[in-house]
Amino acid sequence: MADSESLETITEHERILQEIESTDTACVGPTLRSVYDDQPNAHKRFMEKLDARIRNHDREIEKMCNFHHQGFVDAITELLKVRADAEKLMGQVSDTNRRLQDAGREVTAQTEEVIRCRIQQRNMATTVEKLQLCIPGETPHLCKNLTAVDVIVDLLFITLFSQAQQHRTFNSAVQKQVTLSCAKPLYGLNGRTPLHHNGLSTEAADDEEMDEEVLTVQDLVDFSPVYRCLHIYTVLGDRETFENYYRKQRKKQARLVLQPQSNMHETVEGYRKYFNQIVGFFVVEDHILHATQGLVTRAFTDELWNMALSKIIAVLRTHSSYCNDPDLVLELKNLIVIFADTLQGYGFPVNRLFDLLFEVRDQYNETLLKKWALVFRDIFEQDNYSPIPVENEEEYKAVISRFPFHDAEIEKQQFPKKLPMSQSVPQIYSQVKEFIYASLKFSESLHRSSTEIDDMLRKSTNLLLTRTLSSCLQNLIKKPHIGLTELVQIIINTTHLEHACKYLEDFITNITNVSPETVHTTRLYGLSTFKDARHAAEGEIYTKLNQKIDEFIQLADYEWGMAESDGRASGYLMDLINFLRSTFQVFTHLPGKVAQTACMSACKHLATSLMQMLLDTELKQISMGLSGTLDSYGLSSIHHSEPVPGFQGDTLQLAFIDLRQLLDLFMVWDWSTYLADYGQPTSKYLRVNPSTALALLEKMKDTSKKNIIFSQFRKNDRDKQKLIETVVKQLRSLVNGMSQHS
């Protein structure tokens, strides 16, 4: 077994040695590793084997060297003998070469000329051949490069747009562009600059910005494919074919460029990308127009631009209508201005774009009006509808700094004191000014005169006052939770806002520097707005006051059959009178005519309601005692107390004159006078209608049928009963006579 393993090891070592001798040294590592991976002492035996193999090779090398040594020595000896002869031969060859060069110099010159001519001839033939082959192949190559041009136009406009934002009116960009390449300017100028809140115009960019590097279209776009194709077709005499092909392809690409994304209106980036590709497209076309002399014509670019302009306007008109954010509409306006001015600088007409801006301005104003409607609504909802309390001079100045309020009497009062308007008034005034500022932002950079900007500001402010604020006030007045006290405060508030309109006029004038005396200057309609709101509030006061009177009367529980008056008004009537007194005290804060009108309206309504109550068909019985109750205290206490100052004489009594004369007639039982003077202008009971007297008298007779016996009828004799029947007959006769006469 050991002999077998020894034999295998010897064989394996022999194989490894042969492999080492026959392979590259870089691969020896794995081979040697196998020796160490074998039996423990195998590497020692391998080393012995390797030493033996090395000694064997050394002996063979030594034998070979000994065998060839003598021949090597002989060769060296022969070479030393030849050296002298070789040096002589070298000199002879050099001399011969010099003579040949001198003799062949002329031939060499002629040969080189022939070679040069042959090369030119071959190149010309090759060029003609290649031109013939490239005619059909250059077309798709051109398409690819035209597509590449369209890809680059976005970068082109981004550069132009960045310059426009940095330089505003593009002065520095124009100067730099002219200096560098005498190309078209980046921006059309008209010498106007935008207005700001203070009414002053902004200046151009600082001088150091003039030194900033401005890239031109040549820097951003490689036009060599177009130039090469144009040159090739021109040389071949087929220029018109290429011109037609180029124009057809650019029309197709223009339609693709003009197609917007469906969600473009959602972000300003969507609009910016849309303008990027359009400006880049037409800047490239403008360069082609001026650089190629005929590849495109001005008529072609104008036709392409007019087609594009119609599409652009339709797209912007549609997408801007979806926008409800005034900030986004303002960003769109700024993009349109830069877009229009940039292309105008390249000679494209853009008047229709500026006309579109008026539509966008209307859309902007609509979004502002919606926004401020919410602002006004919040202000009204948070108002406490109470006079503004001011504890010290600092608080007083804080209020008048926001609202132009001046009252000599209030200024003389000591602190703490109250200003007549509620907190919503200075807030509304401030928000109207903020709206004017917001509206002014749209007018910036529109290249409009101060007069036009002034007119736009006044018109938009009028819309805010007459539509938005007016609607908010009208809705506020109609809200159920707004009571009489709140309505009185609203009237006071609108009065102060009306007086502040002249300050809004001055505010706009200070911004635009346009005198209000200028011809055709639009006036603010705030006066009519606040007057209409005040009249609506006054009408609502009358309505709510009458409704409150009706509520008291509906709750009344009168003893209709009381025999005699006790000299006191009923509890319900007393409550009503006390309510009217407290309400009329609130009216003292109102202008005189408003308070008097409200008081007169309430008294008339009260008199009418009491009359209707007496004549109600459902009321079948009534006594003289109730009539005395109504008159003894209730009516007389109202008109004699003069609840609102300013009534002349017995003016307030006119509200109760119909009811008062009717009650006097029944209380005095003065039927003979009534019947005798009926129809006379001086009649004591001129306001008593026979139909009314008859209806009330009918309720007091026929005691047996009514099952009601009045105390005064029990005491009177049958003659008085007959008198009543006689009066009833005479009243019926008067009523019938009136009917026949009518």
pLDDT at position 52, please? 86
**Tokens of residue 262, six digits:** 């469906």
Strand partners, 389: 418
Task: Give the span between the Cα atoms of 655 and 602, in whole angstroms.
Answer: 9
pLDDT at position 308, please? 94
pLDDT at position 479, please? 92
**Tokens of residue 255, six digits:** 């339609």
> Which CATH number applies to 556-669?
1.20.58.670
Task: Give the span between the Cα atoms of 132 and 322, in whole angstroms.
Answer: 56
Q: What angle do CA 188, 189, 195 make, to 5 degrees?
A: 120
Task: Give the span between the Cα atoms of 448 and 456, in whole angstroms.
Answer: 10
Domain formed by 370-537, architecture: Orthogonal Bundle (1.10)
Task: Give the span between the Cα atoms of 434 and 275, in whole angstroms.
Answer: 31
pLDDT at position 247, please? 92
**Tokens of residue 135, six digits:** 């005619």
Task: Give the span between the Cα atoms of 72 and 34, in whole angstroms.
Answer: 43
Cα separation of the two ends of the chain: 158
Question: Cβ–Cβ contacts within 10 Å for residue 535, how many?
Answer: 13
Domain 370-537 and domain 556-669, same fold? Reply is: no
| Averaged pLDDT, groups of 10, the chain, 742 residues long | 65 79 69 68 78 87 86 84 83 87 84 87 81 59 47 50 46 36 31 35 42 67 86 89 92 92 89 92 91 89 94 92 90 92 91 90 92 96 94 93 91 90 95 94 84 88 93 93 89 91 90 72 76 89 86 66 49 74 73 76 83 73 51 52 62 77 82 86 87 81 46 54 80 79 62
Domain parsing of the chain, residue ranges: 39-132, 221-348, 370-537, 556-669, 674-741
**Tokens of residue 435, six digits:** 């709206």
Cβ(633)–Cβ(681) under 8 Å?
A: no
pLDDT at position 197, please? 36
Q: What angle do CA 471, 477, 482 make, to 5 degrees?
A: 145
pLDDT at position 443, please? 86
Question: Cβ–Cβ contacts within 10 Å for residue 579, how many?
Answer: 17
Sorted by sequence, the CB contacts under 8 Å of residue 105 that are 6+ apart come out as: none
**Which CA distances in Å does 169 have to 161, 187, 372, 447?**
12, 7, 32, 11
